[in-house]
Amino acid sequence: MNEKNPSQKNDFIREIIRDDISENIHEKIVTRFPPEPNGYLHIGHAKSICLNFGVAEEFKGLCNLRFDDTNPTKEDQRYIDAIKFDVDWLGFNTENNIRYTSDYFGQLYDWAIELVNKGLAYVDDLSPEEMRAYRGTLTEPGVDSPTRNRSIAENLDLLERMKNGEYEEGEKSLRAKIDMQSGNLNLRDPVIYRIIRANHPRTKNDWCIYPMYDFGHGQSDAIEHVTHSLCTLEFEDHRPLYEWFLENLPIPSKPKQYEFSRLNLSHTILSKRRLFKLIEDGYVSGWNDPRMPTLAGLRRRGVPPTAIRDFVGRLGITKSDGIVEMSYFENTIREHLNLTAQRRMAVLNPIKIVIENYPEDPDFKDELEAINNPNNENDGIRKLLFSREIYIEHDDFMENPTKKFFRLIPGGEVRLRYAYLITCKELIKDKEGNIIELRCHYDPESRGGNAPDGRKVKGTLHWVSANYSKKATINLYNELFTEAIPGSNGNWIEDINNNSVESLSNCFVEPSILDSKPNTTIQFERLGYFCADIDSTKDNPIFNRTVPLRDTWGKKN
RNA sequence: UGGGGCGUAGCCAAGUGGUAAGGCAUCGGGUUUUGAUCCCGUGUACCGCAGGUUCGAAUCCUGCCGCCCCAGCCA
């Protein structure tokens, strides 16, 4: 709904932007989405992407996708490529607006020199351990470093040598000279350049010193004429530092930082560190495991990008942090898929039915018509072949039914969707007493699903022809964690759901299902939404359950 | 005992001094060849608590409580 009318979206950030526009403060609204290429994007990032790109769209501005690549020990081209792909997949155009903080390494270095010249930065000899000790604590002020008051000339010389690779990692650093007594730890002479001897994905070995986030971010925003630099709450107390650099440097524009709360989703984790751990320790198969909250995982799971955009749009932008229920996300996915997904039939746990009074002639072709999507006439109809032997869902039969069970029972009549009414005549069991087959009779007059005499049949079952269906593997995915907040009772690893995936290999699907593509999610009637896995082939078809249909019956029983 | 934020129903969230929107969930009911969808109905929110200002406060003031973030040469 918000999606349909973006101009109606209202939150404190858009309010600020509208005010700025009405006061003619900016020529054009510019935002940026600044991921560090050290992992894959997840749904939390989608919130930021939709905000930044969404705002740019709504106010006819621009949004840059800027890779914040200031730490070559963690970053990789692989992630740059994956992030571009994901942003694109979400539906935002990045063709001409990709930037890298590393584009500005030269300018940033010049500005570091400028800060030294102004007496606002110095080269420090403290080791990381010593620096920590000098920094003080949350309640105790820090102490000035012994090398804090070197001459400008000496600092200039030392900085130059740092850049030229004359020192080892950790031996020296460049620090902003602000205030070691500040209550805000970010202002206690933060390091702005450190020595890192690593190959950078873009600048290779051009540099051995790299700017810290705080020194790179605001200035990059300024260079790009970003007007509204939107980030998450944990950067709130970096804002004074962000502004300090902008005030003390001859920057080409004056961006402003605003913070909003990041997305938390129940029953999953949205921390890159933890997602890495799941992969490294083999709890999932990779960044694109369908159980992962990554965009790559959601894509493989069959979640349409429009559903993700709509979902984060419904959440709103505020400064209060909370946990959004996973079921809310699933509901949004269903809402989208209900309108767009074509319907097909598949049987997950088959039980065979033989229709005793049905023609035995193998050349007899009984072609039925089925509607592809009741919500979209343009999707048309398809033909289904019926046969004497079919499969229905094991759960759709009960030998000793409970009172409200209105599916197939001994002696009972039920409708096979788009086909016939059948009545159960006999159960065939194996030696252990398990039902292995049902013998039924059909009413030839009920072709299509209704009897001419108008008798009411409450239950309608999905089915698949034993002769014409195809065998497939179907993965049923459930929540990755058993706890709404993993780790809330101790170790988050212990809250991993051991039943997060159930792989069924004896499933039967309509033949047409084998033609579906991984990016086209379809509904298996009465079961849920599914899509072909990226590893699915004609010979070994594999489908992933995106999300089940709502099941008020199953919930009660 | 430091600094920065946040607190409106189970969840998200409007509200910006005039007497508490909406969505999701829940629980009923109707339609239905998906027990889905769709439609209708359904909530005593002590607006974190306590005072104060005011004819009137979720909105202003004071005090308190709770929760989140910050002590990387990570972002």
Residue A486 has pLDDT above 60, yes or no: yes
> Distance between CA A221 and CA A224 in Å, rounded?
5
* Strand B contact nucleotides, protein CB < 7 Å: 1-8, 10-16, 23-27, 33-38, 68-75
Question: Which nucleotide C1' is nearest A234 CA?
Answer: B69
Contacts of A374 (CB under 8 A, 6+ apart): A343
> Distance between CA A389 and CA A467 in Å, rounded?
7
User: pLDDT tens across A336-379, in order?
Assistant: 999 999 999 999 999 999 999 999 998 899 999 999 999 999 99
Prediction ipTM score: 0.96
Question: Which nucleotide C1' is nearest A404 CA?
Answer: B35
On whether the A350-462 domain is CATH 2.40.240.10, my answer is yes
What share of chain A has pLDDT > 90, as a percent? Answer: 95
Q: How confident is the model at residue A4 (pLDDT cuts 50, 70, 90)?
A: very low
> Distance between CA A85 and CA A94 in Å, rounded?
10
Q: 0.90 cut: is pTM over it?
A: yes
Burial class (CB in 10 A: 0-12, 13-18, 19+), A498: exposed
Q: How confident is the model at residue A458 (pLDDT cuts 50, 70, 90)?
A: very high
Burial class (CB in 10 A: 0-12, 13-18, 19+), A19: exposed
The answer to whether the beta carbons of residues A242 and A217 sit under 8 Å apart is yes
Contacts of A536 (CB under 8 A, 6+ apart): A518, A542, A543
pLDDT of res. A555? 79
Burial pattern A237-271, b for ≥16 Cβ within 10 A else e, equals ebbebbebbbebbebeeebbbbbbbebebbbbbbe
Side chain identity at residue A35, one-letter code: P
Catalytic site includes residue A36:
yes
- The class of domain A12-260 in CATH terms is alpha beta
Protein CA at A236 to nucleotide C1' at B75, angstroms: 14
What are the extents of the domains in chain A? Answer: 12-260, 263-345+469-557, 350-462
User: pLDDT tens across A68-119, in order?
Assistant: 999 999 999 999 999 999 999 999 999 999 999 999 999 999 999 999 999 9
Question: Which nucleotide C1' is nearest A36 CA?
Answer: B75
Largest Cα span, chain A: 102
Catalytic site includes residue A262:
yes
Which of A9, A84, A262, A314 is catalytic? The answer is: A262
Q: Which residues pair with A474 in a beta bridge?
A: A504, A543
In the structure encoding, which two tokens stand for residue A118, read together? 């102004």
In the structure encoding, which two tokens stand for residue A417, read together? 């969707």
Protein CA at A308 to nucleotide C1' at B9, angstroms: 26
In 3-state terms, what secondary structure has residue A190? Answer: coil
| Strand spans (E) along A272-380 | 343-344, 346-347, 350-355, 366-371
Contacts of A9 (CB under 8 A, 6+ apart): A2, A54, A58, A313
Question: Which nucleotide C1' is nearest A133 CA?
Answer: B71
Protein CA at A319 to nucleotide C1' at B16, angstroms: 16
Protein CA at A496 to nucleotide C1' at B8, angstroms: 33
> Are both A12-260 and A350-462 of the same fold?
no
CATH value of A263-345+469-557 in 2.60.40.3080, 2.40.240.10, 3.30.70.1890, 3.40.1190.20? 2.40.240.10
> Distance between CA A101 and CA A211 in Å, rounded?
9
